[in-house]
Copies of this chain bind each other. A is one copy, B any other.
């Protein structure tokens, strides 16, 4: 394994960690098309907001085992990519476009999209187990955090399952579908650095809600080229959307106040002030360029 420079750019750390993990999975006698589908699902990435959050929190907590933080960041992005692949399939959103190119099922067919999603989930947990060679205790804690963020009763699969219920609890739905992995990403950063993690959940949930509101605004205001996926999807699928509920001005105000709450929610830790500044800076990227002139 390469020596890890903890001062390295987080974007580079994430891409290198993902590349290493995928190379290990797609080696030797792997069926070539599924290997290609894995790569298609993971590269190039979107904003990598969740693994960036993990590395930022790990950094604020000391990041004393950067290999564990890298594994946590990679695992979170793999689980996120898996959920996108399955969410795009015909029985869900039936989306042709993702991150500016064909969705996995469109490029490789439904069977390989289904398998790629399954395989990326498995790979996420495998990545954490490998990090157990550095710290068994942290690897197991990270597995618990990510399983809770993605599984039942309150993780991503639960969130998506609310869409099949005759009555939907909107708060539970959005917390599970979006908030849970943001909360998991924040908690994972602290756990990867060997620090208590429960107090990081609140920050993650608020950032997740901010991201959801920003996504709702993008769905209404951005161009397809900017966000790499179709716009107007919520309206077409009858999904809740903050702009519809609050108006455009109200949604932008809600976003601003959620970002403020996120910054307030940073727990006491060695890198608290730097992390607050970073959240301020990075959350500006939540909205696409075309919405920079939105009324605040």
| Chain A residues at the B interface, C-beta cutoff of 8 Å | 25-35, 38, 82-83, 86, 89, 91-92, 108-112, 114-115, 117-119, 121-123, 125-126, 128-130, 132, 136-137, 139-140, 143-144, 147-148, 150-155, 157-158, 160-165, 169, 172
Count of this chain's copies in the oligomeric assembly: 2
Min distance, Cβ A155 to any Cβ of chain B, angstroms? 7
Contact in complex: A152, B30 (CB < 8 Å): yes
Chain B residues, CB < 8 A from A35: 152-153
Question: A144 touching B164 by the CB < 8 A rule?
Answer: no
Known A-B contacts A34-B152, A152-B26; the reply to A147 vs B161 at CB < 8 A is no
A121 to B150, CA, bound (A): 11
B30 touches A158 (CB 8 A): yes
Dominant secondary structure at the A interface: helix
**Which B residues touch A109, using CB under 8 A?**
91, 164
Residues of B within 8 A of A30 (CB): 152-154, 158
* CB-defined contacts of A82 to chain B, threshold 8 Å: 118
Q: A111-B92, A118-B118, A119-B152 are in contact. Are A144 and B161 (CB under 8 A)?
A: no
Q: Cβ of A111 and Cβ of B129 under 8 Å apart?
A: no
CB-based contact B164/A34 at 8 Å: yes
Of the residues B27, B33, B139, B165, contact of A165 by C-beta under 8 Å:
B33
Of the A-B pairs whose beta carbons lie under 8 Å apart in the complex, a sample of 10, sorted by A's number, is A29-B153, A29-B154, A35-B152, A89-B114, A111-B160, A122-B151, A123-B151, A126-B147, A130-B144, A139-B140
Write the chain B residue with the least CB distance to A110.
B91
Residues of chain B within 8 A of A125, CB atoms compared: 122, 125, 143, 147
Q: Chain B residues near A160: list those with CB within 8 A.
A: 111, 115
Q: Tell me the complex Cα distance, A123–B144, Å.
A: 10
Nearest-neighbour CB distance to chain B for A193, whole angstroms, equals: 18
Q: Tell me the nearest residue of chain B to A140, going by C-beta.
A: B132
Known: A29-B154, A29-B172. A123 touches B147 (CB 8 A): yes
Interfacial chain B residues near A91, Cβ < 8 Å: 109-111, 114
Residues of B near A33 (CB, < 8 A) are 161, 164-165
- Complex Cα–Cα for A27 and B153 (A): 6
A112 interface neighbour in B38, B140, B151, B161, Cβ under 8 Å = B161
Whether A34 contacts B119 in the complex (CB less than 8 A), given A114-B91, A125-B125, comes out as: no
Cβ–Cβ contact A122 & B155, under 8 A: yes
In this complex, what residue of B is CB-closest to A115?
Answer: B157
Residues of chain B within 8 A (CB-CB) of A34 are 152, 157-158, 161, 164
CB <8 Å contact, A38 and B152: yes
Q: Report yes or no: B28 in contact with A153, Cβ–Cβ below 8 A.
A: yes
Nearest B residue (CB) for A142: B129
Closest 7 CB pairs of A and B: A30-B153, A126-B147, A34-B161, A91-B110, A122-B151, A129-B143, A132-B140
